[in-house]
Structure 1
Amino acid sequence: MTIKILADSASDLSETHYNEYDIEMVSLTVHLDEKDYKDGKTISPKVVYDAMREGKAPKTSQVSPENFKNIFTEYAESKQPLIYLAFSSELSGTYQTAKMMEQEVKETYPDANIHVIDTKCASIGYGLVVLEAAKMAKEGKSVDEIIADATNRAKHMEHIFTVDDLEYLRRGGRVTKTAAFVGTLLKIKPILHVEDGKLIPLEKIRGSKKLFGRMLELMEERGGNFENQTIGISHGDDLERAQQLADMINEKFGPKNIEIEMVGSAIGAHAGPGTISLFFLNKDF
């Protein structure tokens, strides 16, 4: 029986990806204008970014326990193997909720072939891990092979990103109010990365012109074997700059492929419009 891959909407994959690779998706919730929306299903990222530009502050919440319980029960009853690759546990409680529901469902169905894996990744970095797992499932690889590859791939996935306005990170408690104010005045652009699933400020660049050059330097320092890997770029409603970065990467490194996607509503609600994120496998992969 084919192994099903489950991802959540923080993977920022498109509907095309889900359909092509037969991936199941579960949505985080976005709260905007006193309404709840399903990320990737009932609200578009563009709506969230436009609301943020108007000064609104959308909020998000994790996938509900009931949602996971229903999905896991369905696969337990059908005896179809399921691997849920989860958004980083350091950025959302979704993974912990899924683990609790996995254990609960297995009390009723002890033989259920259900596995919950913390990728400690986000956005298209997480999405690239999911896509490879789905390809392996289609090729008939075993549960153990898929989990081993996904775990290793996630461990070595680099996240290098910048935000257009520090104010959005301040709202999420990532930078202080003073740092956000000073950064905006001085046109300082932060470069951040993800370390063991956590969001960590890396350095500050003064002036946006130097920004992409520094991101490429970090890519060269940390990554390798680009001609054999797919690079991920995600953007907060700024396709033009994402394409500019992709062109620079193609010219310098000639990667096998570049996937460009918009940062989805759930992550975008915290990062804000103008976010540009870069994902690649490091030299140790």
Structure 2
Amino acid sequence: MAIKILADSACDLSKDYYNKYDIEMVSLTVHLDNEDYEDGKSISPKTVYHAMREGKSPKTSQVSPQTFKSIFTSYAETNQTLIYLAFSSELSGTYQTAKMMEQEVKESYPDAPIHVVDTKCASLGYGLVVLHAAELAKQSDDPKEIIASSHNYASKMEHIFTVDDLEYLYRGGRVSRTAAFVGSLLKIKPILHVEDGKLIPLEKIRGSKKLFNRMLEIMEERGGDFSNYTIGISHGDDLKRAEQLASMIKERLNVNEVVIEMVGSAIGSHSGPGTIALFFINKQYEA
């Protein structure tokens, strides 16, 4: 049997990709207006962003242990190889829960070919790692090869992003109330990145006009041969600006492909509307 790739909804891939590559997806939970929704299934990102613009604060929770146990058991029973590529363990407890359930299932099925991998990535950066693994799974029946390549690819995935309003990062505990207030007054736009799975502030840019130029400069500084790899852009319900950034990249760099997706409900609940994120493989990557 072919190796199956499992991802969670924090990879922000559209259903088209799940269908094309036969990827299985498990949802994080979004809590809004006293209701629980399955990210990527029973709530749309636009609903979340609309609520946030109205001042609401959606919450999220990780995938439940029972959900993982059920999925892992079904693969163990048929002895089909499953590789779960997880949302960064530094941003969610989902990876740790999956590892616990993997160990529990293997108590009953010690030879079950189930593998849980921490990508240390988020949003479409994580999604690009999932697609990389899914491509390999079409060609290889060696899980060790797929896991090693996915680890390597994920470790070289750059996440460069900005948010439209620091208030949302404040609500999520990423910046102080003072920083959010001062940033809004001065029209400061933060540039952040992901380092070893964690969100790290990188720079502060005064004025939105300079923002995309600086993001592209960072991309040029860190990136390698863009003609060989897919560039990812995800946005918090701001397709116009995402397309603007994509156009700038195509004009300035020799890129292979640019994929644009909306930041999903789970991650968007923390980053907020107007988020723009850029993902690419850095120059340290060697296939």
Query: For residues 125 and 234 of structure 1, what CA distance do their matches in structure 2 show?
Result: 9
Partner-residue secondary structure (3-state), 1:226: coil
Partner of 1:253: 253
Q: 1:141 to 1:78 in 2, by over 3 A?
A: closer
**CA displacement 1:202-254 (0-9 Å, x = unmatched):** 01000000000000000000011001110000000000000000000111112
Counterparts of 1:255-274 in structure 2, within 5 Å, are 255-274=255-274
Query: For residues 140 and 221 of structure 1, what CA distance do their matches in structure 2 show?
Result: 33
Q: Is contact 2:170–2:180 with CA below 8 Å preserved after alignment?
A: yes
Query: For residues 140 and 188 of structure 2, what CA distance do their matches in structure 1 show?
Result: 48
User: How far is the alpha carbon of 1:136 from its aligned partner?
Assistant: 1.0
Query: For residues 254 and 35 of structure 1, what CA distance do their matches in structure 2 show?
Result: 46
Partner of 2:174: 174
Counterparts of 1:50-199 in structure 2, within 5 Å, are 50-199=50-199
Query: For residues 141 and 202 of structure 1, what CA distance do their matches in structure 2 show?
Result: 40
User: How far is the alpha carbon of 1:139 from its aligned partner?
Assistant: 1.9
Partner of 2:47: 47
Letter in 2 for 1:251: E
Partner-residue secondary structure (3-state), 2:227: helix
Partner-residue secondary structure (3-state), 1:254: coil
Query: For residues 145 and 263 of structure 2, what CA distance do their matches in structure 1 show?
Result: 29
Partner-residue secondary structure (3-state), 1:57: coil
Partner of 1:2: 2
Partner of 2:232: 232
Number of residues paired by the alignment?
285
Partner-residue secondary structure (3-state), 2:97: helix
User: How far is the alpha carbon of 1:142 from its aligned partner?
Assistant: 1.4
Query: For residues 187 and 74 of structure 1, what CA distance do their matches in structure 2 show?
Result: 51
Letter in 1 for 2:274: G
Counterparts of 1:15-54 in structure 2, within 5 Å, are 15-54=15-54
**CA displacement 1:62-103 (0-9 Å, x = unmatched):** 000000000000000011100000000000000000000000
**CA displacement 1:113-158 (0-9 Å, x = unmatched):** 0000000000000000000111111123411111011000000000
Query: For residues 226 and 145 of structure 2, what CA distance do their matches in structure 1 show?
Result: 23
Query: For residues 36 and 258 of structure 2, what CA distance do their matches in structure 1 show?
Result: 33
Q: Is contact 2:28–2:38 with CA below 8 Å preserved after alignment?
A: yes
* Runs of 4+ that moved beyond 6 A: none
**CA displacement 1:174-227 (0-9 Å, x = unmatched):** 000011000000000000000000000001000000000000000000011001
Partner-residue secondary structure (3-state), 1:237: coil
Partner-residue secondary structure (3-state), 2:217: helix
RMSD: 0.5
Partner of 1:222: 222
Unpaired runs of 5+ residues, structure 2, are none
Letter in 1 for 2:130: V
